């Protein structure tokens, strides 16, 4: 590697070094730390270095932790599927049908991102509560004699709030992908006699599938590991794995076991992300 080559490519090398440093500091170092801790043992209020699989065995054999992972998976999958459908429909309308209202609708889509995550989750507690907007409105109209209690503190309320919060993460990338599709492709398909449904299936959907898959991956990962929304809107029977992990690092003071749970969540998310990516590639015909 000559000095001349280094001088010509110093910008690219600097950018690559910055990326490597960022990944090492924010991903490799923390996860390595957690991975090592997951094999340690807790002795009273101290942690002893060890090479034990007891923490993983405890996490995999206890029904409470398996149920927490299942609850998180059900909510994350429900949120991902719902945001995929609604986000794609919204992006499709903005890209192909909205004309004079496109700027306003796009602005309304990104406005919620300007507020804090906590506020966007808490507002659904005000809407769905026993004395919330929905119950108060229905009782004022005489549709109810007493407030509905099932609207809040359930998987449904958690899913509804997360769909509202994460919808832009699907709609925005899909909209960007649909905007980049050359309109000549669609016109050529129409000129060849293909109906609208065939044009969408064979032209528009494959070209936008990578963006949809990326958005769904982000939504699934964020929903699976979310802690704030289940804490505000979840019930006693809707224990999420993020809440369990937080409690292990907090009140239970069992960092090795909490680390093992965190590593298991990481493996589950990576496996499902791999599946989503393969499904996305299959649906798009290999288009990237």
Residue 45 inside a domain? The answer is: no
Asked if the structure places residue 190 within a domain, the reply is yes
pLDDT at 76: 92
Residue 144 lies in a domain: yes
Digit-coded pLDDT (tens) for 99-125: 788 888 888 888 888 888 888 888 888
Which helix (H) or strand (E) covers residue 269, if one does?
helix 255-284
At residue 56, the pLDDT reads 92
Total domain count, the chain: 2
Same domain, 58 and 138: yes
pLDDT of residue 21: 92
Alpha-carbon distance 286 to 259, whole Å? 37
Residue 12: inside a domain = yes
**Is residue 42 included in any domain, yes or no?**
no
Query: What pLDDT sits at residue 118?
Result: 85
Q: Rounded to an integer, what is the distance from CA 111 to the centroid of its chain? A: 19
Percent of the chain with pLDDT over 70: 95
Write the CB contacts of 14 (distance below 8 Å, at least 6 apart in sequence): none
| H or E stretch covering 176 | helix 155-180
Is residue 6's pLDDT more than 80? no
Same domain, 89 and 211: yes
> Residue 226: which residues within 8 A CB-CB, separation 6 or more?
162, 240, 242
Q: Does residue 226 sit in the same domain as residue 270?
A: yes
Residue 25 shares a structural domain with residue 152 = no
Query: 184 lies in a domain?
Result: yes
> pLDDT tens across 171-206, in order?
999 999 999 999 888 889 888 888 888 989 888 998
Examine the domain organization and report whether 135 and 221 are in the same domain.
Answer: yes
Quote the mean pLDDT of the chain. 86
Tokens of 212: 């949809």
Instruction: Name residue 41's beta-bridge partners.
Output: 48
State the virtual CA torsion across 2, 23, 214, 182 in degrees, nearest 10: -30
Distance CA 111, CA 36 (A): 41
Q: Which residue has the higher pLDDT, 51 or 285?
A: 51
Q: Which of 90, 117, 82, 83 is nearest to 106 (CA)?
A: 90
Cα separation of 221 and 242, whole Å?
Answer: 12
- Same domain? 247 vs 215: yes
* Residue 44 maps to a domain: no
Write out pLDDT tens, residues 121-170: 888 888 888 788 888 888 888 777 787 777 888 888 899 999 999 999 99
pLDDT score at 2: 62
pTM of the model: 0.85
Tell me, what CATH number does 220's domain have?
A: 1.10.3720.10
Closest by CA position to 57, among listed 256, 277, 274: 256
Instruction: Write out the residue range of the structural domain in which residue 214 sits.
Output: 53-284
Q: Do 62 and 175 fall into the same domain?
A: yes
Angle between helices 63-96 and 155-180 (to 10 degrees): 40
Tell me whether residue 143 is in a domain: yes
């Amino acid at each position: 590697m000559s000095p001349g080559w280094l001088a010509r490519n110093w910008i690219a090398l600097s950018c690559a070094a910055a990326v490597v440093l960022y990944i090492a500091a924010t991903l490799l170092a923390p996860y390595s730390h957690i991975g090592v801790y997951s094999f340690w043992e807790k002795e009273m209020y101290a942690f002893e270095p060890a090479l034990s699989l007891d923490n993983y065995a405890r996490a995999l054999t206890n029904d409470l932790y398996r149920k927490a992972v299942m609850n998180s998976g059900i909510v994350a999958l429900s949120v991902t599927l719902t945001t995929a459908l609604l986000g794609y429909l919204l992006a499709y309308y903005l890209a192909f049908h909205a004309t004079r209202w496109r700027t306003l609708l796009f602005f309304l889509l990104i406005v919620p991102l300007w507020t804090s995550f906590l506020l966007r989750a808490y507002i659904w507690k005000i809407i769905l509560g026993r004395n919330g907007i929905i119950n108060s409105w229905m009782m004022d109209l005489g549709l109810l004699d007493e407030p509905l209690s099932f609207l809040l503190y359930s998987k449904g309320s958690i899913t509804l709030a997360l769909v509202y919060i994460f919808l832009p993460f699907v709609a925005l990338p899909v909209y960007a992908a649909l905007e980049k599709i050359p309109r000549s492709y669609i016109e050529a398909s129409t000129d060849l006699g293909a109906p609208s449904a065939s044009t969408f299936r064979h032209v528009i959907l494959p070209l936008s599938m990578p963006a949809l898959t990326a958005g769904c991956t982000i939504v699934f990962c964020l929903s699976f590991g979310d802690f704030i929304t289940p804490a505000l809107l979840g019930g006693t029977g809707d224990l999420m794995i993020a809440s369990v992990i937080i409690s292990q690092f907090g009140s239970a003071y069992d960092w090795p076991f909490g680390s093992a749970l965190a590593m298991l969540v990481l493996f589950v998310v990576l496996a499902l992300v791999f599946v989503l990516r393969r499904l996305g590639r299959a649906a798009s015909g290999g288009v990237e």
